[in-house]
Structure 1
Amino acid sequence: MNKGDDIVEIGVEPIFDNFAEPPGVFIREEIEARGWSQRDLAFILGYTEQTITKVISGKSGISAEMAKALGEAFGTSASVWAGLQKEWELREARDPDPSIRARAAMQGKFPIREMISRGWLMEAEQSVLEMQFARFFELEQANDNYVAFLAAARKTEQNHHRPEELAWLYRVRQLARQMETPTYSEEKLRQSLPQLRSLMVDPEDLRLIPGVLAECGVRFLIVEKLVNCKIDGVCTWIGDQPVIGMTLRQNRLDNFWFVLRHEIEHVLAGDGRDGREIIDVDMENPNSIINLDDDLRKMEEAADEAAKNFPFPHEKLTSFYRRKHPYISEKDVIGFSSLNEVHPAIVIGQIQYLKKDFSWLRKWLVTTRHNIMPFSFVDGFGNNVSAPL
């Protein structure tokens, strides 16, 4: 083998230049240069002649063990022969499917695999998958726009939303199109607030909420969040129809009512009607709106204020808290809840945030999913809805 033409060794790592022959060809050159036969090489290496014949003819490859043996026999490093075998196998291997690179680009920006597993997209060859992607995200032209959409996915201009959050938002929009409600009436929604407020006593009354909202022309649905997201809810619009989407991430009564009233306030204010939706994420974290621009932060603060004061004026709670703190008894809480006609879980939830103690009277906290989901449009939680793209 002419090492100068084909292999240059740097330390123990060989660099292989262009060649298009199996490694057995170079073994033949080595034994011919030494005047050996294949039988001689078999004797030297301790292999059968049949094994050596198969390797030289290209019917078998060079194992790692044989590469070491050939290095000893020819006075070279084992990496020379192992490298020749590896390069030949790579040359002979089929070229990868071009869609691999495209799917890697998509998965690098959006949780495509999870979206497929949730039934939001269907598994398909790449061009069809790209078409589905474009339709899912309401892009007019798949070929031109979806690449630009991918490229912009992690920019702050994209409404401050992470790709996982955007995917959840568009799933809400996709499913909301399947729902039918009367024409939206802001007046009816405002008039419904006392009725909704009356449902804060008994958790079983949550089942009535979708119907109340539907009568006002509001499409209400529950879509389970994606992995590694802390989405709570969103207000978005399909034409002139408002949509409230929730995740029930916290699955507790106090959080449910806070998120719902927060999103209702967004609807009443017309927030998101211009296409600049606010996906409400990690709402229990007071720092969640710090990075928003002034307009968005004002919208969030107004919605928070409405939600905070919906069960009763928040000042009433803080006054109660100041009078009783730090010795607030369970009896005190039950009495305050009864006086204000709300379930104790709602009062306890608010006091937990004031105390910054989320274990306090935790036994009173009530879960919500079993009361609201059977009467709502639900996607996820083991029920993946089929929707046309």
Structure 2
Amino acid sequence: MNTVSNLRPFINIGPGYTIKKYLESRGWNQEDLAQIIDISPKQLSKIINDKAHITIKVAKLLADAFSTSAEFWVNLDTQYRLKLEPITDKETATQIKAKIRKFMPVSEIRKKGWFSIDNTASGYESLYENIWDKKPNDISIYENCEKKYCARQSKTNEEFTNYYSTTWQRIALLKAKTINVPKYNKDKLHKIIKNYTSYTVSTNGINEIIADLNQAGIKFLVLSHLTKTYLDGACFYDEENPVIVYTCRYDRIDNFWFTLAHEIAHVIKHLSNFKDKYFLDDLTNNDSNDQLEKEADEKAEELLRVEEIITESLQYTKYFSEEKLNIISKKLKIEQSVILGILQHKGYVDYRKLNKYKKKVKDKFPSEINFG
């Protein structure tokens, strides 16, 4: 275990020194003060020599004598006594754990099963080293970490959002390194893009598109988001291979197909220009004015044929039913939940309608790429 030094500051001035200074300023001696506050000279001598605690009663008397506050004397005595005590192993462990916890939600990482972690300072240190291959006293990776990624995120607590997002991306990268794919082939990715909606109606479409992405040299994995990161998806490079991550934050098939389309858009349009950075996306954040995000949204809508879906639905805007949804799905060869999700997102259909088509997606991923 790396230990925090148990040395206290060299100078530890007790309250007795301050009492002496007050006596000098007034031209009093100890006997004068003993008479004024009505305690024995022996008791006062112990206090001035820092051998006796200043009780609340004595603190009030000193406050009256020197026109200060009782809190002033209590705090002086408490600070002096604290500095006399050596730091215990438990205090050292608490300091280590608190420092590491600032940068990563350890309990949550343990619950997700990403790493085996002992609830000890050594366990926390091992986690940090396993993630970063660095000692916990090296926190340089978190300095200006927000500059290392292109983010479309809500930030209710920006510091933790930055730190936890950086930790999450690193864990995603480590998981991605366990996936083997061939060299990245952009032509194969363009073929996937061209046939994107056909995967949505295939019985095994999710597994098929993941397999085709892998054949194109793109790693795909599922890794849930960490608290305060607000992530739907991400993409970045693992050496020469693009990586796409889906968080399953919203466990719906339509959310998967849109998030995947958005991340594919980043890969095809932007990622090669930002090899040293990573894209982190909260797709519910519609306030983003970032040009790259707008371009990715537009490309994703192109993949999903959003314009065609809207055009086909306009004739049914007065009464949109399950029958009409199936008609559009059959004509465009796009899965119903995808069509419904797009129309609801665009405001053409009420979110409360046709809930039977809001299908779950979490259990449809191959276990070897679903890291929980």
Per-residue deviation, 1:350: 0.7
CA contact under 8 A between 2:16 and 2:49: conserved in structure 1?
no
Count of residues paired in the alignment:
332
**Counterparts of 2:183 and 2:168 in 1: how far apart (Å)?**
25
- What residue is the counterpart of 2:84 in the other structure? 92
CA contact under 8 A between 2:149 and 2:277: conserved in structure 1?
yes
**TM-score in terms of structure 1 length:** 0.66
Q: Please show how residues 191-340 of structure 1 align to structure 2 within 5 Å.
A: 191-192=191-192, 197-201=197-201, 205-269=205-269, 271-272=271-272, 274-288=274-288, 290-292=289-291, 296=292, 301=295, 303-311=296-304, 313-340=305-332
Q: Deviations over 1:281-323 (max 9, x none)?
A: 22244432x134xxx35xx52x434432334x33322222322
Go from structure 1 to structure 2 and tell me whether the alpha carbon gap of 1:93 and 1:262 turns closer, same or farther (over 3 Å shift).
same
CA contact under 8 A between 2:313 and 2:328: conserved in structure 1?
no
> Any unmatched runs of 5+ in structure 1?
1-17, 43-48, 381-389
CA contact under 8 A between 1:23 and 1:58: conserved in structure 2?
yes
Match of 1:153, as an amino acid?
Answer: C
Q: Deviations over 1:147-202 (max 9, x none)?
A: 3x5442345xx444444433333322222112212333333344455776443136
Q: Please show how residues 64-83 of structure 1 align to structure 2 within 5 Å.
A: 64-68=56-60, 79=70, 81-83=73-75
- What residue is the counterpart of 1:4 in the other structure? none
Go from structure 1 to structure 2 and tell me whether the alpha carbon gap of 1:65 and 1:160 turns closer, same or farther (over 3 Å shift).
farther
> Any unmatched runs of 5+ in structure 2?
1-10, 21-27, 152-161
- What residue is the counterpart of 2:155 in the other structure? none
Q: Please show how residues 98-177 of structure 1 align to structure 2 within 5 Å.
A: 112-114=103-105, 117-118=108-109, 124=122, 135=133, 147=140, 149-155=141-147, 158-161=148-151, 162-177=162-177
Match of 1:310, as an amino acid?
Answer: L
Structure of greater Rg? 1
- What residue is the counterpart of 2:352 in the other structure? 359
Per-residue deviation, 1:241: 1.9
**Counterparts of 1:114 and 1:26 in 2: how far apart (Å)?**
47
Partner SS for 2:213:
helix
**Counterparts of 2:247 and 2:301 in 1: how far apart (Å)?**
19
Go from structure 1 to structure 2 and tell me whether the alpha carbon gap of 1:230 and 1:203 turns closer, same or farther (over 3 Å shift).
farther
Match of 1:364, as an amino acid?
Answer: Y
**Counterparts of 2:270 and 2:75 in 1: how far apart (Å)?**
66
Go from structure 1 to structure 2 and tell me whether the alpha carbon gap of 1:370 and 1:98 turns closer, same or farther (over 3 Å shift).
closer
CA contact under 8 A between 1:236 and 1:243: conserved in structure 2?
yes
Q: Deviations over 1:70-119 (max 9, x none)?
A: 667x6866616424423432442447969959976x87xxx513157526
Indicate the percent of aligned positions where both proteins have the same amino acid: 22
**Counterparts of 2:107 and 2:76 in 1: how far apart (Å)?**
41
Go from structure 1 to structure 2 and tell me whether the alpha carbon gap of 1:65 and 1:359 turns closer, same or farther (over 3 Å shift).
farther
**Counterparts of 1:254 and 1:261 in 2: how far apart (Å)?**
11
